Each structure stands twice: as C-alpha cells, then as structure tokens.
Structure 1
Amino acid sequence: MEELLDPALGSVRVFLVHDDNKARKLRYNLGPARILTFGGAYSGHIRAVAAAGLRHGFETIGVIRGEEHLPLNPSLAHAVACGMRLDYLDRAAYRLKHTAETQARLRERWGEVTILPEGGSNAAAVRGCAELPGELGGDYDVICCPVGTGGTLAGIAAGLPEGRRALGFAVLKGAGFLTGEVARLQREAYGRVWSNWSINLDYHFGGYARTTPALKRFIAKYQVEGVYVAKMLYGILDLVRQGAFPGGTRIVAVVTGQPLTSVAECGAPTGLDSGEPRWRR
C-alpha cells in the first residue's frame, strides 16, 4: 500500500491500493468463444475485454455508444488492435441495450455470443471483486472505491471481514439508483444483501467524465486518473475535513483500473505510475 500524505487528514490515515478491477470483473466471465459487450468511446471496460480476448484467444465485439468517428480515438484504436470488432448504437438505441429486443437484434447480426453488461458488472464480476479484501495486508476500518455500475462495490462489500465497511463514491450524476443496483448484484451473486456499505452521491462534479476547475486542480496536484479515482480521493479528503471519519480511522482507497498503453503494446496495460512525491510507500 501507499500512504497519502496531506496535513488536512490529521490523525486519519489513507492508504492507496492499486487494483485492476476490470480484470477482476472478467476473471469469472471468461470462457465463451465470443463475447459481446457495451461501452462508451473511452471505456476502460471495452479495452479490458479486447485485451482479454487477445490474451486468451476468444472473439470480442464492442458495441459503442454513439456514432462512429474516424480516425478512432486511442481507446478504440487499442481495442481494434487487440482484435475487437466494433459496432455502434445511437444514444437512443443504446439506452435500450439491456432489452430482449435489442439483444436479439445484436445476436442476429453477430451470431451466438455471450453478452456482458456495460462495465462488466454481473454476478460473476461481483465474485471476482469480492476477492480483493482478502488480499489486503494490514489493518483498516473503511475501504473506499469509485462507483460507476456498482459491481466493484458489491463485491468488495461482500468480501469484507466482520467489522469493516465499504464506502463508494458515485461518478454519475443522479446516481441514487446505484443503491438498488449494488443490492441486486449481491443478491444475484450470493442470494443475500450485506448492510456494510453505502454510496456517497455528492462528488460527481457534474456527471460521468465531467469536471470542474477545482477537480482539475486536484488532478494536477495529485497526478491521478480523473474520471473515477480523483472524484473518490477528493471526496475522501473533503469528508475528513468535515469530520465524517473519527480520528485514527484507517481508510483504504482502491485506485481502480489501469491506464491505456500504446496500441503497439496491446495486451496487459502497465500499472498506474505513482511516482508523485506526495504518495509514500
């Protein structure tokens, strides 16, 4: 783990754990000969599925929200370099991607496929993410993670030892529905719902991939990924300043995902560089 050093923390200690939650979500979803999944034009999940398909030898199809734009951005170029074939749905059709009618049309187009939801969050993904708490060394009271679709939080909470709790930070605006999603995912994976987790909805900064001048300054100061990780860390520090955590609380913050490598390095992306001097191992 690495410790975040900031005078505002007082006696609260925050430790960072770098973890590729995309790979965890896929761990128990791999095996079918052909996987179709969904994502935006800059989706880390799309990149992860494409890289897994190349590495493990199965076909991948990525259904992208919005219209095709050429040349492809680095995320989609990376996916195509890994062998993924791309399809596109306009935003109205994309909102119906979960329906039987839309999925039937996709199967007509692409043949027999296993369909993974956007973000990879399903019961198998929850079981993969539930393994994270058991791999942590040291003592802690709270484990925090960003929340997009709910699968990572659902799994982490299910895998927590007794007496610990999980706190998710929603990166979407109007994300109250995520409480129901996390509960649904836990129920599908384990047949029960845990009470040791909650979701904070106050640090979305305008919505998914949106930002503000304050968040931009925070990203520049701490050199962290901006769509997910910065919002979580900003929220943690702000809540500490407000006295939301008792003195002496030990917080583990999960730094999710991995950055995009060059297209030529399609495969397993490298880990997030944490060389910024304000982080201590």
Structure 2
Amino acid sequence: MNLERFADTLCLPSPLEPFTPDWEGAKHVSMFVKRDDRIHPVISGNKWRKLKHAFNLTPPYTADLDTGSGSGLNSVLYSQPSSVVSFGGGFSNHLHALGYLCNQLNIPFHAIIRGDYTKHPSPMIQDLVQWGTQIHYVNKVTYQQRDNPAYLTSLRIQFPDALIIPEGGSQVAALKGVQEVVNEIDIPFDRIIAPVASGATLAGLTSALSPHQHAIGIGVLKGEGYLEGLVEQFLAPELALNFTQASALASDKKNQFSISHNFHCGGYGKIPPYLQTFCENFNQTMPFEIEGVYSGKVFWALKNLLATLASTNTSTNACEKKPLEKAIEKGQTLIIVHTGGIQGARKNKNP
C-alpha cells in the first residue's frame, strides 16, 4: 500500500457535528465539534493532518491518479522514504499513529523514546513492537537534544536516507494539513478551539482563518509565553512561503490567536480527580469520548469559559484561576476541534 491508497481509507472530510450540552452559558452560543477523532481508528485527529505532508518531503514524481477521496494528495505521488525516525514519550499519540502508518506502508520505523520501558512497556510501545517498529530508549539528557543540529546529523549518519520527523510531527509541513480542518468547515463561524502542546496545530488553524475569525488554544502544559512563541515560530515561515508581505501578515495572524493557560490542570499529562470525574461523566452522557491529556482539558475549559460568559462567578478549581477574558462572546458560533488521541487514557492499563 502507498500513501495515496491509504488516504482513500480515511473519513475525510471529518464530520462536523452540533454540540448542545446542558451547561451553564451554552445557550448563548452555537457550537459544533469537528470530529477529527473519526478520521481513522488509529491515525485519528491531528495526527493524520500533521503527517500526510511530512512524507511529501521526499522527491515527487507525477502520475495519473484520480482517487476522488478528498485526501488532498491530488495527482502527485511521492516516493516513500527508505526509513522514518521520530521522537516521543512512552504514551505518544504521534509515535503510535506514525508507527501504524509506517507498518501499513511497509516502511522501517525507528522510534526514539524518552525513558526506558524495557521492563514495563506501555500499551503504545507494545503496539509499536507488534507493528515492527525498532525501539530506541534514550535518557532525558539525550532526548533533550532531539532538535540539536549536531544530534540530528549523528542520526542521519546512523540512519542514512531516513526521513526524520520532529516530535509530535510538528514542522512547517504539518501546517498545510492542519489548514484543511478550517477549509472543510462549510458554515460561518467566529471561534475555533483546540489544544496546544507543540504549537503546530494552532498555527495551522490560525493561518487558514479569515480576518474576522479567531483561534483559541487551550494550553495542556505549563508554558505561558513559551507556547505563544512556538505558534509564532510556525506562523512566520508559513506566511513567508505563502505571502509576499510576510512580516505585516505575520503581525495580523498573531492577533488572530490566543492561548488560555488556566486549564492545564497542573501540567502535561496531569489529570487531577476533578478532571478525571469530568471526563468520566462526559463520556457517559455525550455522543463521543474524551481523555484527560488533550481533549478533556479542551472541553473542561469550554465548560468553564461558557459559565464565565453567563455569570461573573468563577470556578474555585485550581484549573481556572484566571478565565480567558473576551475569548467567547454571546451569539457567536464556536468550532471545537476534537484532535483525537487516546494513548494517555491507556496509561492505567500499563503493568
């Protein structure tokens, strides 16, 4: 199977579904969920969006191809890399999706994983091994070099001709895929909401917005200022590639996104009891499921922001000390992007 034929198996465009929870303040806005979690059972959410154009970094050749799938791959076929190398933790949604994709495409995959899970491999790592991934455990110090040019050079020597994909799949090539989320939405909207960790998803969404629209990122880790910098870093080269007046447009785009740092709930991967309870109740009453690392924090933030919209009373939870003021206004239409990913929810199954 090649990348184009694999794309034919995906649920694209992903569904856009009305969201009408019985939450305080919900009646003041119209909400829809962009169900990117339904794109594929394994490569769901923003993982396909960020990976599909990563493989396009290999030399292209043209062919007559009309899939009619809406995959966005058009009639350009891309030669597959000899191997792929990428990075992540023991519960990485990115590595899980990439490992499965490489298995389907019959491409050797090397996963560089932070920490040593030799004695107790996580469910994600067990899947990777089953799919034929070569696992390389490294310590924290080595892992921190993952973006260091010298370290990347050593990897290119170790894995000649390999395609090296950054942690999380976050690179400029990913933005083109994420932009398609916005392009697929066929209704007028004012705000689009998504989690923020590495910055590429929010940057891709922001770069596709019309001037009157605004992207709201929910930081899932502690990183005020840091996360904004990541998004701006991705926006600058994206604008330079697509617009002639890059600096002026970059300034405009910076005004089209904001990030709330009030809902990380203690940091990345932290799921305090109140968030766990919220996710469990949500999954029992809503038509789709969430987890506590990414999507759960987005919908928890949404619930609190809507309550703030309806009332001046604020939550006493530590997760919301300073509501994101003026992020949402009455009468607006909101799009919530469900970016998928369940590896964090599988953590409790680890021996």
TM-score of Structure 1 vs Structure 2, range by shorter chain: 0.7 to 0.9
- Is residue 134 from structure 1 mapped to residue 165 from structure 2 by the alignment? no
Q: Is the 8 A contact 2:84 2:108 kept in 1?
A: yes
CA offsets, 1:174-207, max 9 Å, x none?
3421111111112222314213111111110111
Output the CA distance in 2 between the equivalents of 1:4 and 1:33: 47
Are 1:6 and 2:22 an aligned pair? yes
Report the counterpart of residue 331 of structure 2 in structure 1.
248
SS in 1 for 2:28: coil
Per the alignment, residue 48 of structure 2 pairs with 23
Gaps (5+ residues) in structure 2? 1-16, 37-44, 56-79, 241-245, 284-289, 310-325, 344-351
SS at match of 1:188: helix
Code of the aligned partner of 2:265: F
Q: Does 1:201 align with 2:261?
A: yes
C-alpha offsets along residues 66-94 of structure 1, whole Å, 9 cap, x if unaligned? 11333422111112222221111111221
* Structure 2 counterpart SS, 1:222: helix
Q: CA deviation at 1:232?
A: 0.9
Matches within 5 A, 1:68-79: 68-79=117-128
Q: How does 1:64-213 map to 2 (within 5 A)?
A: 64-191=113-240, 192=246, 193=250, 194=253, 195-213=255-273
Structure 2 residue 252 is matched with structure 1 residue 236: no
Extract structure 1 runs of 4+ deviating beyond 4 A: none
**1:47 corresponds to 2:96:** yes
Q: Distance in 2 between the 1:199 and 1:7 partners?
A: 22
| AA in 2 matched with 1:2 | P
Partner SS for 1:130: helix
Q: Which moved more, 1:174-183 or 1:58-67?
A: 174-183
Question: Contact (CA 8 Å) 2:203, 2:232: kept in 1 or not?
Answer: yes
Q: List per-residue Cα deviations over 1:7-40 (Å, max 9, x = no partner).
A: 3123123221111210010111114221111000
The answer to whether the 8 A contact 1:2-1:17 is kept is no
**Cα root mean square deviation, aligned:** 1.6
**Which residue identity is paired with 2:167?**
E
Name the stretch that deviates more: 174-183 or 122-131: 174-183
CA contact (8 A) 1:41 1:65 kept: yes
The whole-number CA distance in structure 1 between the counterparts of 2:256 and 2:129 is: 40
In 1, the alpha carbon distance for the partners of 2:264 and 2:330 equals: 26
Query: Structure 2 CA distance, aligned partners of 1:2 and 1:78?
Result: 34
Q: Name the amino acid aligned to 1:203.
A: F
Contact 1:34 1:114 in 2 (8 A): yes
Which consecutive unaligned segments of at least 5 residues does structure 1 have? 261-281
TM-score (norm 2): 0.70
Tell which deviates more after alignment, 239-248 or 137-146: 239-248
* C-alpha distance in 1 between matches for 2:224 and 2:162: 30
1:82-130 CA-partner distances (Å, limit 9, x unpaired): 2221111111221121112222333333333221111111010011101
Q: Distance in 1 between matches of 2:153 and 2:204?
A: 29
Q: 1:85 to 1:143 in 2, by over 3 A?
A: same
1:227 to 290, 293, 314: 293
Sequence identity (%) = 29
Take 1:110 and 1:175, find their aligned partners in 2: how far apart are those partners?
36
Higher strand share: 1
Give the distance between the partners of 1:38 and 1:4, measured in 2 at CA. Answer: 38
Partner of 2:266, secondary structure, is coil
Between 1:106-115 and 1:10-19, the stretch displaced more is 106-115
Q: Distance in 2 between matches of 1:86 and 1:41?
A: 11
CA distance in 2, matches of 1:16, 1:48: 22
Instruction: Compare relative contact order (CA 8 Å, sep 6+) and give the higher one, 1 or 2.
Output: 1
SS in 2 for 1:14: strand
* Matched-pair contact (CA < 8 Å) for 1:176–1:201: no
- Indicate the larger mover: 37-46 or 100-109: 100-109
- Report SS of the residue matched to 1:145: strand
Say whether the 8 Å CA contact 2:88–2:167 is kept in structure 1. yes
Secondary structure of 1:256's partner? coil
Check conservation: 1:53, 1:60, Cα contact below 8 A: yes
